[in-house]
């Protein structure tokens, strides 16, 4: 099946023409400053379709700001943020970016605390997001099944009727990941997904991400080096808003500049 056929078959798929291995997300010379302080400084980064990439860097390196720029929360002062072949992400707002199939997990797990686990997933499930469509939406059998499957995958089946606020930190992380997956994303941006998880939960998360890679594109920000090693993919080191080093974990850990940055010199 050629790329054009995919595009027709899926209606309006902005990135269908991007073949696996092509660049899906491209940041070029992105600069963001807050009152003169450059949180991102001429940052350039390319992520291929189906790739999983880990991003590390000391506190304040600009990792979260990078995600803010990609997801339309923060407008860059200069630079380009491109998704697929032609889409300029800097022109869209958060909802617009999300509806392109870009899902984001926040650094601090963010779920709807007063809604139940089930309702959290219900709201996340991909569907028409229009106001009137939402007003008239009813859960059909296939939607319920997808939610039930997701509850199994994230291990929260028995908690489905509990308010999400009553979950443990690790469980909230998983719920948020489950919510992201139900939006059918192309690109997943995960900001410190295993913070607060037990070792076993961390291992399970690594296994899940490895399974997702290939069919999804993942950008994982993490401080937990054990987890980064477990994922075993290309690592980008951010420092003071730009890329300091890139390569395998072993490679960047041998880099003297990276060592200096982490030891605070």
Partner 1 sequence: MPEADRQSLMTPRGWAAFLAVGFVLIVLIPVANRLVTPGGALHLPEYLVPLIGKYCCYAMLAVAMDLIWGYAGILSLGQGAFFALGGYCMGMYLMRQIGDRGVYKNPVLPDFMVFLNWKELPWYWHGFDMFWFAALMVVVVPGVLAFVLGWLAFRSRVTGVYLSIITQALTFALMLAFFRNNMGFGGNNGLTDFKDLLGFTVQSQPTRVGLLIASAIGLGLAFLLCRWIITSKLGRVCLALRDAESRVRFLGYSPTGAKLFVFVVAAMISGVAGALYVPQVGIINPGEFSPANSIEIAIWVAVGGRGTLAGAILGAFIVNAAKTWLTGAAPEVWLFFLGALFIVVTLFLPHGVVGIVRDWQARRSAARATVLASTRPAEAT
Q: Which spans of this chain sit near partner 1 (rule: CB under 8 A)?
A: 71, 73, 93-95, 98-99, 103-104, 106, 110-116, 118-119, 122-124, 129-132, 134-137, 161, 179, 183
Region of 58-66, 113-121, 122-130, 245-253 interacting with Mg ion (CB under 5 A): 58-66
Most distant pair of Cα atoms in the chain: their distance? 59
Q: Which residue, 64 or 74, has its beta carbon nearer to Mg ion? A: 64
Q: Does 173 help bind ligand ATP (rule: CB under 6 A)?
A: no
Q: Does 74 help bind Mg ion (rule: CB under 5 A)?
A: no
48, 52, 54, 62: residue in contact with ligand ATP (rule CB under 6 A): 62
Which is it for the CA torsion 124, 128, 130, 134, positive or negative? negative
Q: Which residue, 187 or 245, has its beta carbon nearer to partner 1? A: 187
Two structure tokens written together for 11: 């209606």
Closest CB 34 distance from ligand ATP, rounded Å: 3
Q: Does 59 help bind ligand ATP (rule: CB under 6 A)?
A: yes
112 binds, among Mg ion, ligand ATP, partner 1, none (CB under 5 to 8 A by kind): partner 1
Region of 59-67, 90-98, 169-177, 204-212 interacting with ligand ATP (CB under 6 A): 59-67
Q: Which residue, 107 or 204, has its beta carbon nearer to Mg ion? A: 107
Q: Which residue, 84 or 103, has its beta carbon nearer to Mg ion? A: 103
Q: Which residue, 49 or 53, has its beta carbon nearer to ligand ATP? A: 53
66, 43 Cβ separation under 8 angstroms:
yes
Q: Does 63 help bind ligand ATP (rule: CB under 6 A)?
A: yes
Region of 56-64, 126-134, 177-185, 252-260 interacting with Mg ion (CB under 5 A): 56-64
Angstrom distances, CA of residue 35 to CA of 32, 38, 57, 67: 10, 8, 22, 19
Closest CB 123 distance from partner 1, rounded Å: 6
Which is it for the CA torsion 128, 103, 67, 26, positive or negative? negative
Tell me the Cα Rg of the chain: 19
24, 30, 39, 92: residue in contact with ligand ATP (rule CB under 6 A): 39
Residues that bind Mg ion (CB under 5 A): 63-64, 107
Residues that bind ligand ATP (CB under 6 A): 34, 39, 57, 59-65, 107
């Amino acid at each position: 099946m050629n790329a054009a056929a995919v595009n027709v078959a899926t209606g309006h798929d902005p990135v269908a023409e991007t073949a696996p291995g092509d660049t899906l997300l491209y940041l070029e010379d992105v600069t963001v400053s807050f009152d003169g302080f450059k949180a991102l400084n001429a940052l350039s980064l390319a992520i291929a379709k189906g790739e999983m990439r880990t991003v590390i860097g000391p506190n304040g390196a600009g990792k979260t700001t990078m995600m803010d720029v990609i997801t339309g929360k923060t407008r860059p002062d200069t630079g380009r943020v491109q998704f697929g072949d032609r889409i300029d992400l800097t022109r869209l707002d958060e909802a617009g970016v999300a509806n392109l199939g870009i899902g984001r997990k926040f650094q601090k797990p963010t779920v709807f605390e007063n809604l139940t686990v089930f309702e959290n997933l219900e709201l996340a499930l991909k569907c028409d997001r229009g106001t009137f469509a939402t007003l008239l939406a009813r859960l059909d059998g296939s939607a319920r099944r997808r939610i039930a499957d997701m509850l199994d995958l994230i291990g929260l089946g028995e908690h489905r009727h509990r308010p999400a606020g009553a979950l443990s930190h690790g469980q909230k992380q998983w719920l948020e990941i489950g919510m992201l997956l139900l939006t059918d994303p192309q690109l997943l941006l995960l900001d410190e997904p295993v913070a607060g998880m037990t070792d076993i939960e961390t291992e399970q998360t690594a296994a899940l991400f490895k399974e997702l890679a290939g069919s999804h594109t993942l950008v994982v920000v993490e401080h937990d080096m054990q987890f980064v090693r477990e994922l075993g993919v290309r690592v980008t080191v951010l420092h003071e808003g730009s890329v300091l080093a890139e390569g395998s974990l072993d490679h960047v850990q041998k880099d003297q500049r990276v060592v200096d940055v982490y030891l605070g010199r």
